[in-house]
Chain A
């Protein structure tokens, strides 16, 4: 027994000797620290004017540089280092970067480019650099297009810069369809118009003989849905943007239909219809013409919006006594309520990313644009004013456009945008009064 005990003791000692030795021999590990506090501020970038490859491209080079800078600065995520502060001057697209000069002015990103006219086509090249890492961010790219499309080419360059730095897709090469308004408040004339996301290139799609409301883009951006009072009652119309021709969505001229929205695959339209004093949500297959009722309740169900995967629909209903938000399967059903806080909720729109739902909230006499997760959690109100309503998501799900109307007899609607963080509230430039913005998908 004693021998066994001694043998075990010796074994333990041997193991201890073998394990302790390497521990002594280990070199000291790296110092480990945890950083939890950073800063949230615009990233400074330098954008020397793009070099004109020939005299025919001088104006285009200047204009493209200006639009790229405006796109990036307009996001609130970037800050342009003024050119007066530049130490280096870029004289050639292929000249090496003087890193120390750009580091000295604290430019964290550098964008260089050139524009030239070659064979009647505009050729735009650009490169993006991480100044402090002293290396390029991605490969240089070249775009070729017609001289008239210089704005789209500028937006495309800005989209690539945005994507490489933030890791999210851009939204600059996109359009917005909206309701252009004119005239006094009690006799407004409304037309559907379309413009670039930044308010440029406004064009009208309808005349003002009929009241039109709430246009919506198709997922491919080639069609829009809208509500018109052309026949005396609200009816949903569908318009082909290439031909600018519109037709009623359904032949039934006696049923009031409104609040339409495309399904993610573009093959169906979900909308509200009123029958016998009751408003419910319906789904119309554009290919077969089949119409299916998705809700069946004595209350008002309206403002449906598909989830990006097409499996669910968020909508508003007053079945609880006040307007609230509900989610139901795309095949229809009862729906479960997701809005739980104070006030009335309406006009829900599912984010293109699928993670958030934007909505309008009214409480205590003020209107708000807010976002919440799809289960109703983490609700945040982003804006507050006399009247904010009708949110629409940017293609990348980072920015929301909406209508803001001022109070009083001279009150007028305008289009605003805000980041989903609640920062960077901006008014979108439009030629006149504007409302009901609907953001297109990213153009192809």
Chain B
């Protein structure tokens, strides 16, 4: 009985061992690793040509042949592999025939010249300023034509009508007809410009400045009755006296006349219009990347016609960037202000006091990556 138990246990143990490790012991042999080999298909003619050439050429190739240009790769050059370094046995194919090479004439190579150009031999003086003796331009500058003639043009003579019958000219009388005395009349009114009501400046209709309220009348202090008895000496506080004196001094100084700009301030739309007008001439296409990182404040004055005073254009402040970049940024800004303001910026005349002086911040941050 016990023997059967041992036999059964042994058989079960054996089956268990076989299940665990038997697979690897009795499995099929592993697959042999395979190797890929690149092949090239060639034609029979190419094979023949190659065979003939190999026979004809010595075993040692004198000059390394031109390998096939490397497959486009971003490495430069393609990192060599042992296969690439192996000498190429196959000589150049007979076909296609390589072009006849024109050997460079090395003797004609001109070495880099060292001092061919002498730079800045002499700084040339600036040309003379334009004066009245300068030859005039071929094209005369056009002058503005007046919109309305100062005097009315005479009325054209009435066209003569042809009478149906020929009338003989009457004989002139001996005595001239008396000329009636006509009182002298004023010439017809004329103006150099028609100013309609719509074009009348608003300043003429609206008050330019707001009237300040009248000063409060000085309150008169009733004269105190003279006391019969001398007043008692009051205990005075020196600090209070000093403060009172300071207040009185401050109050006694005549306040300077406040300078209030005439006319209404520019609206947001008018400011935007001015910004766009200057911006469309602000060309950043040629400034350096350093200038593109520079923000400058440029101040300038405008005439009443809105034309910039070129002499007033100045660099007020460098908000961001370097001095070198600021010079170029300022030049670009100045060019923009002058170029687009040649004919005057479109700004309301009545608000001239508000835009007489302008400080423009030229900030190229948004233009940098365009």
Does A230 make an interface contact (CB < 8 A)? yes
Does A55 make an interface contact (CB < 8 A)? no
User: Which residues on B sit within 8 Å (CB–CB) of A330?
Assistant: none
Question: A17-B250, A17-B251, A108-B335 are contacts. A38–B77 as well, Cβ < 8 Å?
Answer: no
A425, B42: Cα distance in complex, Å: 41
Does B192 make an interface contact (CB < 8 A)? no
Which chain B residue shows the least CB distance to A96?
A: B130
Nearest-CB distance from A113 to chain B (Å)?
Answer: 10
User: Which residues on A sit within 8 Å (CB–CB) of B122?
Assistant: 141-142
Q: Which of A253-277 contact B (CB under 8 A)?
A: 256, 258-259, 272, 274, 277
Nearest-CB distance from A220 to chain B (Å)?
Answer: 10
Nearest-CB distance from A135 to chain B (Å)?
Answer: 9
Nearest-CB distance from A177 to chain B (Å)?
Answer: 11
User: Which residues on A sit within 8 Å (CB–CB) of B243?
Assistant: 7, 10-11, 14
Contact A35 B360 (CB under 8 A): yes
Q: Which of B271-292 contact A (CB under 8 A)?
A: 271, 274-276, 278-291
Nearest-CB distance from B156 to chain A (Å)?
Answer: 39
Q: Which of B345-362 contact A (CB under 8 A)?
A: 353-355, 357-362
Which of A46-54, A185-193, A284-292 forms part of the interface with chain B? A185-193
Which of B17-25, B79-87, B200-208 forms part of the interface with chain A? B79-87
User: Which residues on A sit within 8 Å (CB–CB) of B82?
Assistant: 277
Q: Which of A390-419 contact B (CB under 8 A)?
A: 390, 405
Contact B282 A34 (CB under 8 A): no
Among candidates A39, A95, A173, A346, residue contacting B74 with C-beta atoms closer than 8 Å = A346
A233, B360: Cα distance in complex, Å: 65
Contact A143 B117 (CB under 8 A): yes
Contact A28 B354 (CB under 8 A): yes
Which chain B residue shows the least CB distance to A361?
A: B74
Write the B186-224 contact mask toward A (1 if CB under 8 angstroms, else 0).
Answer: 000000000000000000000000000000000000000
Q: Which of B115-159 contact A (CB under 8 A)?
A: 116-131, 134-135, 137-139, 141
Contact B335 A191 (CB under 8 A): no
Does B367 make an interface contact (CB < 8 A)? yes
User: Which residues on B sit within 8 Å (CB–CB) of A134?
Assistant: 310
Does A172 make an interface contact (CB < 8 A)? no
Which chain A residue shows the least CB distance to B354?
A: A31
A41, B73: Cα distance in complex, Å: 36
Contact A41 B258 (CB under 8 A): no
Does B370 make an interface contact (CB < 8 A)? yes
Question: A10-B243, A367-B72 are contacts. A31–B117 as well, Cβ < 8 Å?
Answer: no
A166, B113: Cα distance in complex, Å: 27
Does B184 make an interface contact (CB < 8 A)? no
Among candidates A95, A136, A347, A361, residue contacting B75 with C-beta atoms closer than 8 Å = A347
Contact A97 B130 (CB under 8 A): yes
Question: A32-B359, A36-B365 are contacts. A279–B250 as well, Cβ < 8 Å?
Answer: no
Which chain B residue shows the least CB distance to A17?
A: B250
User: Which residues on B sit within 8 Å (CB–CB) of A1?
Assistant: none
Contact A444 B114 (CB under 8 A): yes
A213, B70: Cα distance in complex, Å: 11
Q: Does more than half of chain B's interface fall in helix, strand or loop, or is it mixed?
A: loop
**Residue of B112, B325, B336, B361 with highest tally of chain A CB at under 10 A:** B112
Contact B275 A34 (CB under 8 A): yes
Contact A7 B285 (CB under 8 A): no
A300, B260: Cα distance in complex, Å: 76
Nearest-CB distance from B239 to chain A (Å)?
Answer: 6
Does B66 make an interface contact (CB < 8 A)? yes
Residues of B in contact, count (CB < 8 Å): 118
Among candidates A35, A148, A206, A242, residue contacting B112 with C-beta atoms closer than 8 Å = A242
Does B247 make an interface contact (CB < 8 A)? yes
Does A312 make an interface contact (CB < 8 A)? no
Does B183 make an interface contact (CB < 8 A)? no
Which chain A residue shows the least CB distance to B358?
A: A31
Contact A39 B116 (CB under 8 A): no
Does B29 make an interface contact (CB < 8 A)? no
User: Which residues on B sit within 8 Å (CB–CB) of A191?
Assistant: 104
Nearest-CB distance from A309 to chain B (Å)?
Answer: 18
Does B344 make an interface contact (CB < 8 A)? no
Contact B335 A203 (CB under 8 A): no
User: Which residues on B sit within 8 Å (CB–CB) of A303?
Assistant: 75-76
Contact B117 A145 (CB under 8 A): yes
Does B237 make an interface contact (CB < 8 A)? yes
Contact A222 B79 (CB under 8 A): no
Question: A37-B279, A38-B284, A153-B117 are contacts. A10–B85 as well, Cβ < 8 Å?
Answer: no
Nearest-CB distance from A98 to chain B (Å)?
Answer: 5
Among candidates B76, B112, B354, residue contacting A175 with C-beta atoms closer than 8 Å = B112
Contact B76 A35 (CB under 8 A): no
User: Which residues on A sit within 8 Å (CB–CB) of B237?
Assistant: 3, 7
Contact B64 A230 (CB under 8 A): yes
Nearest-CB distance from B119 to chain A (Å)?
Answer: 6
Write the B68-112 contact mask toward A (1 if CB under 8 angstroms, else 0).
Answer: 110011111101101001010000110010110101101011111
Write the B52-77 contact mask toward A (1 if CB under 8 angstroms, else 0).
Answer: 00000000000110111100111111
Contact B363 A35 (CB under 8 A): yes
Does B256 make an interface contact (CB < 8 A)? yes
A206, B69: Cα distance in complex, Å: 18
Among candidates A27, A36, A144, A203, residue contacting B110 with C-beta atoms closer than 8 Å = A203
User: Which residues on B sit within 8 Å (CB–CB) of A27?
Assistant: 259
Among candidates B118, B266, B360, residue contacting A145 with C-beta atoms closer than 8 Å = B118
Contact A101 B342 (CB under 8 A): no
Contact B283 A38 (CB under 8 A): yes
Nearest-CB distance from B5 to chain A (Å)?
Answer: 60
**Residue of B73, B117, B290, B364 with highest tally of chain A CB at under 10 A:** B117
Does A211 make an interface contact (CB < 8 A)? yes
List 8 A–B pairs whose Cβ atoms lie within 8 Å, in order of A's numbering: A7-B243, A21-B255, A31-B355, A140-B125, A141-B119, A189-B66, A211-B64, A234-B80
Return the 6 tightest CB-CB contacts between A and B, nearest first. Answer: A140-B124, A204-B104, A346-B74, A38-B282, A30-B357, A167-B288
Using A140-B125, A152-B116 as known contacts, list a sample of 7 further A-B pairs with CB atoms less than 8 Å apart, ordered by residue number in A.
A28-B261, A37-B279, A38-B362, A133-B331, A152-B117, A167-B290, A168-B289
